[in-house]
Amino acid sequence: MSKLGLGKGSASGVALDKETIKSALALADVDYCEVRFENSEVLSIGYQGRGLDRISQDRLFGGAVRALWKGGWGFVSFNSPAELPDVVRAACRQARFTGDQQNGASKLAAAPVVEEDYRPAWTLNPRGVTLDEKVRILDRYKDLILGYDPAITAAAIIYGERVTDLTFANTDGTFIHQEKVDIGASLSATARRGATTVTKGIGRGSSIGFDCMLGADEELRETCDLAVRLLDAPQVKAGVYTVVCDPAVAGLFVHEAFGHLSEADNAYRNPDLAKAMTLGRRLGRDILTIYDTGEQPEHRGYLRYDDEGVRTRRTYLVKDGILVGRLHSRETAGVMGEPPSGSARALNYTFPPIVRMRNTSIAAGESTFEEMLAGVELGVYAVGSGGGQTNGEMFSFNAGHGFMIRDGKLAELVKDVKLMGNVFTTLENIDMVGRDAKGRGGAGGCGKGGQMPLPTSGVCPPIRIQNVIIGGAK
């Protein structure tokens, strides 16, 4: 069944121009005030089982005002441009109510004043591809999956697209107008034999073009073949192994287990975490460098400016094994006396920005894949991101599948590969970093603070880790 609808707030053709926003900001009687206004076209297409399940088209049209007074914030969202002056006054009243009238101080790190009208360099503007053509492409992928092997009984495809016209201005004098796009898709095959079911998939994503959805045939065939082969693959035997992680597993680890610890709004509220993440601490060997960046427009975490109007930059978190930085909003940077990193992000205009990752990556090293396998008498090559969870320093992640490593060579295919451990111990145990870094795509995104799914990505090489706990068969 398909569904076509118009969602939250219909754009009336009225937008917020520069003079209207500046006039409204002139009403602010607080330490700082900002306006964000967006007009987003959102498309979602889903296939489930053997056919097209849904098509939904939506529009997000509205804005938000955030005000700061003596350390207290006010936040109000709105839909009608005519409401802006009243909304500015309301956000300022909130800030004045929540601010500490006696001892409060607004600590907001300085950021350059910017005026820019920015358009990305599209590789293939999704607005130039018709809905019929998008469905035709996805239909063909669905047919490829279902026609690959009789053991494949279902296909699942999720395609999401959001094209946004975004305006930001603040009382510092910054005024930015920019176009943004986010495309994310997951395509998976489910194979079944008796009581055994295996699902395998691929991901696609981009911040500059629909062309990320083209040319997936060969990778889909390989994925379908893998799903069928995994039906007969044994479970990995539980134990402690040397593990080589492919770029997807390395990316999952660096985002979930380490990246969230690097978000400064977590650290400055938690003394124990702040102590564990003291800058200058050695976390790993000299070969380990981790960074987060708004660069790399071909990936979903690309940002030119964050949602506080700060130009994004490459932020090194670990350099040559030493903890050297963290991710900041202007407020956390001001509180901690560090420079802002352009990491304040909001899912849409109904949310205030919070500190979020963008493209979290491990810098490529010097080891070849063959060198990483060499000398491993018995180990596991973990492949593909299967999701997982973290609890403070502890993590538990599922790889999509794996291969045993025997006497320095890849051996049999195995499934149900779960990696567990302590993030700091695991970082110390990374003893090789590969040369060939790859990005990751897919639907969904990060879910911090209930703002889900915020697009993130990263570029990682394979890494080798000693003494990893692997859950599996006894």
Give per-residue pLDDT as tens, 310-352.
999 999 999 999 999 999 999 999 999 999 999 999 999 999 9
Give per-residue pLDDT as tens, 391-423.
889 999 999 999 999 999 999 999 999 999 999
DSSP 320: T
Place of tokens 């060198």: 371
**155, 188 contact by CB (below 8 A):** yes
Give per-residue pLDDT as tens, 62-87.
999 999 999 999 999 999 999 999 99
State the pLDDT confidence band at 160, using cuts at 50, 70 and 90.
very high
Residues forming a β-bridge with 382: 245, 402
Structure tokens at 397: 């992640």
Closest alpha carbon to 331 in 275, 278, 269 = 269
Strand extents, DSSP E, 346-473: 354-355, 359-362, 378-391, 394-406, 409-414, 418-422, 430-433, 438-439, 459-460, 463-471
> Which of helix, strand or coil describes residue 84?
helix
Instruction: Enumerate domains of the chain plus CATH numbers.
Output: 18-230 (3.30.2290.10), 239-471 (no CATH)
Count other Cβ atoms within 10 Å, centred on residue 87.
19
CA 171 – CA 22 distance, rounded (Å): 8
Compute the chain's Rg from CA coordinates.
Answer: 24
Structure tokens at 119: 């358009």
CA 246 – CA 110 distance, rounded (Å): 40
